[in-house]
Each structure stands twice: as C-alpha cells, then as structure tokens.
Amino acid sequence: MSKSKILRSTLIIMVVSVFSRSLGFIRDLLIAANFGTGINTDSYNIAVTIPETLFMVIGLAISTSFLPVLSEQLIKNGKEEMYNFANRFITLLLIISVGVFVLAIIFAEQIVPIFARGFSGQKLVLTIFLTRITVFNLLFLAVNACFSAMLQVNEDFIVPSILGLFFNTPIILYLLLFHSYSIIGLTIANVAGNLIRVLVQIPPLIKHGYKFKLNFNLKDPRVKKVLILIIPVIIGAGANSLNVVVDKTIASSLKTGSVSALDFAQKLVVFLNTIITSSILTVTYPLIANKRNSGDSQALIEYIKKTIIYTLLLLIPISIGAIIFSQDIIKIVYMRGAFTQDSVDLTTLAFIGYLIGLAFYGLRDILNSALFAMNKTVDTTVNGIIGVTINIILNLSLSKIFGILGIAIATSSSLIITSVLLLFNLKRVINEFNLRLIFFKILKIICASVIIGLLIVIFNNLVRIEINLGIILIVTGLAAIIYYFLCLLFRINEIKEITSILRKFGRC
C-alpha cells in the first residue's frame, strides 16, 4: 500500500471514527445528565471496568499476538489455512472465556472490593449486582477482538472502526426512549451493545470467505505459537490496564463522585487518542506485520517512523489546546441535568492531568504495536510492569497532595517514562531506526505547538469573551492555519503529506 493510500485510508477511518465516537459522547452526555456523578454512576463505572479490564488484557493480547500470526498464514499459506487456524484459536478462546465468566459470577463479591476499595454498604451491594450483569461482556469482547483482527489482515478497516456506533446505539436508545430508566437497565444496554459489535462483523467476514467452525486442537503449532507470544503480552497488557484500575481504586477512597469524574475525563482523552492513534494504527499495524513477515525491513522502518510522526503531529497541539480550554470543554460536553458545577470542577482537574500525557498515550500504543509485530513481547512486558509500578507509587503520593489531579498526573508521568523507554527498546531491536531524527522532529512539533498555545492564551487575555463551542471552533481553525505554516517553517514535511491528502479527499 502506497503512502498516499495509507493516509487516505487513515483519513476515511478518522472521519468514520469521529462519527462513531461522537455517539459515544452523546452516550456519556446522556449518562452524565441523567445520573450525574454519584453512587449509581460510581457503581456502574466500576462494574463496567471489571470485564473491560480483563478484556484489555485478553483483547490486546489477541490483537497483537494473533494478528501477526494471521498475517503470516495469509502470506505463506493463503486464506483457507488462515481461517482454519483462526477457528482453532477462537474455539480455545471461547472455552477460556466461559471459564472466566463462570468464576467471575461466582466470586463477584470477592472481586469487586479489589476494584472498589472505598465502597461499602448499599454502594458495594449495587456494584456487585451490576458486575454480575457486565461479566456477560467477557463472552463477547474476546471474539470481537478476533473478528476485528481478521478483517484488518484482509485490509478491511472500515467495519472495525465503526464498532463503537453499534455498541453505543442500544445505550442511547434506552436513555432516550424509556421514560422510566434505571442504572440496571443501563447496564443491560451496555451488554447488548457488546453483543451487537460481534454480530455486525459476521457479514463482512463471510464476504471475505470466512466460515466459523468449532475446531479444538491444542497441538496445532500455530496455536502454540500464539499462546507462547500471548503470555508476556498478557503480563504487559495487564500491567498497562492496571493503571486504569489503580486510578479508580484510589479515587474510590476520595470524595463521592471522584471515580465518575475520572471516568468522564478519561473518556474524553481516550476519544482524542482513538480518533488519531487508533485510526492510524488500524491501517498501519497490519501493514507493519505484513512487511515484517515479508522481510522488507526498509518499508517496516518507514511505516513505524511515519506512524509516530503523523500521530504526534496531531496529538501534541490538540493536548495543549485542550488544556487551555479544559473547563470550557467539560462544561460544553457534560454540564446539564445532574452534572453540576461541582462535577465540572472535579472532572476538569482529572481532564488536565490526563491531557499532559495524551501524546504519550499515542506514542506508547504505536511503539507497543511495533514491538508486538516483531514478536518482541518481553520488552513490552517489562516496560508495562515498570509503567504500572511508577503509576502506583506516584498515585499513592500525589493523590494525597493534589487529590484527583494527582491521580491523573501520576498516570501521565508513567506514560511519559514508559514511552521514552520503548523508543530505546525499538532502537535496540532495529539498529537502523534513526532515533535522533525522531527526537528532533518531536522537538520541532512541541515548539510549534507551544507557540500556538501561547498565542491562544494571549488572545484569551486580550479578548475577554464568553467561551462557547463556536468560539472554540473558530480559535481552533485559526490556530490550525498558523500551526500549518509553523510546521512548514520548521521543515516538518509530513504536514505537507497530510494536507495534500486532505485536498484530494475534499475534491472527492
């Protein structure tokens, strides 16, 4: 796939992803307006977090270990043999998921306090009840990850990028159409959304020639290969996903609403990261895996380098702008109904703390994916353990000083450290990878973004007007134009590649 096709595919996915994620915003907006930041949303967020945490471990392991082996089978043995291997792996995964599901149902009372250390009484009872509903997601999330990986290897990127649309729709319809709603109904709608995400991927998979058959065979060397690769990935992914758990666990001991405020803030940051990083990686990760399996080292290096630059070129200025308008953004997105000014203030603190590490969310995801594609899972495992250790230490200390802001800053700090370590890991694996060039380009992007940030602050101080969505969009548009010319001045040539595709896309 040529550079222009990669950018064009990425842009299409970004547009689709914005629409899909916008529905996620509407979902969160409705939840915030109807339930606010209180006992119900705290319980709901913890209950949803438990299976999602297990999924983040299993799902990331699937997408990073299963996908490269799929790619290898497609290149060496063709689609039929690739699908035969896929069925054997999915069958094994279903057996494991059912086992974990049963254990989670039985031991919910023991599991929930691990995630919600500060919960007690009615709040704890409600969380346990909701968790017994959300663990049904375990039966769907892992299969969803496998189906998405197969579509991506077939270079079908659109359906995986709009799965959020199908997940959010049942929740939104429930909150809009039912006059008498409850947190229990909301939880059931969440489970329905995860089921629908699996079902909508079946037609395009059939179109690509896939047919599911139960096929259990642990002796298959390809299944063994994935299992060997998956063990360190699970450890590393588990360490990374523990950051979310650590944040919410420590927040559960702060004032009521802290867990929900962290969750609302994190959803905004994940939204920004997903639109940029996930859209780019959806296209480039299968290509990186394919180039690695075909032995094209130069193309492999070029894909990794471009993925990093394109992502940071967008995420760094976005993070600086979002910090400047942080409280206004929270008000515009969430402030209505039960979401009061106190909720805005609490969520804004968490949002600022997470935004500090926004660009490093993207950088970490890219570097982890690149190392996964090259089967360097030990590096990502060690790095993940280092990251969660740093996060725990900083969380325990900073939360006592800065409260919810300290929790978010701790997460961002661990992301910065782990991202830098991963860059050096990648350099050690690929000696030809020009780390100096990457650092130099990142420095230029930071300089251009800081200049834009200073200009926005000066503008805000000189023109004292009430900030609303229209003002933010106008300022963002003007800032984007100035940023473009600053990038040209600093000779960041990737900005030309992006704008060239934007112009071609606009003519379509």
Mean pLDDT along residues 73-79:
83
Are 326 and 269 in contact, with CB atoms under 8 Å apart?
no
pLDDT of residue 506: 47
Is the full-model pTM beyond 0.85?
no
Mean pLDDT along residues 170-199:
86
As to burial, measured by CB atoms within 10 angstroms (0-12 exposed, 13-18 middle, 19+ buried), residue 320 is: buried
CA distance 211 to 87: 9
Rounded to 5, what percent of the chain is helix, strand, coil? 85, 0, 15
Secondary structure E strands in 292-447: none
Are 17 and 275 in contact, with CB atoms under 8 Å apart?
yes
pLDDT single digits (tens) 1-52: 555 556 666 666 767 777 777 777 788 778 877 777 678 888 888 888 788 7
> Average pLDDT of the chain?
82
As to burial, measured by CB atoms within 10 angstroms (0-12 exposed, 13-18 middle, 19+ buried), residue 34 is: middle
Give residue 374's Cα distance to chain centre: 21
425: left (phi over 0), alpha (psi -120 to 50) or beta: alpha
Are 349 and 405 in contact, with CB atoms under 8 Å apart?
yes
CA distance 56 to 195: 17
Q: Apex CA 489: angle with CA 484 and CA 490, to 5°?
A: 95
pLDDT single digits (tens) 442-467: 999 999 999 999 998 888 888 777 77
Helix and strand element counts for the chain (H, E): 23, 0
pLDDT single digits (tens) 222-235: 777 776 766 666 66
Mean pLDDT along residues 389-403:
88
Quote the tokens at residue 410: 């701790």
97, HSE (Cβ side, Cα atoms, 13 Å): 25
Q: Apex CA 227: angle with CA 222 and CA 230, to 5°?
A: 125
- Cα dist from 172 to 37, 141, 415, whole Å: 18, 20, 32
pLDDT single digits (tens) 258-301: 888 888 898 888 888 877 877 777 667 667 776 776 667 777 78
Q: Residue 219: is its pLDDT beyond 80?
A: no
pLDDT of residue 91: 87
211: left (phi over 0), alpha (psi -120 to 50) or beta: beta
Q: Apex CA 321: angle with CA 318 and CA 324, to 5°?
A: 150
Determine what percent of the chain is predicted with pLDDT higher than 70. 87
3-state SS track over 47-80: HHHHHHHHHHHHHHHHHHHHHHHHHHHHHHHCHH
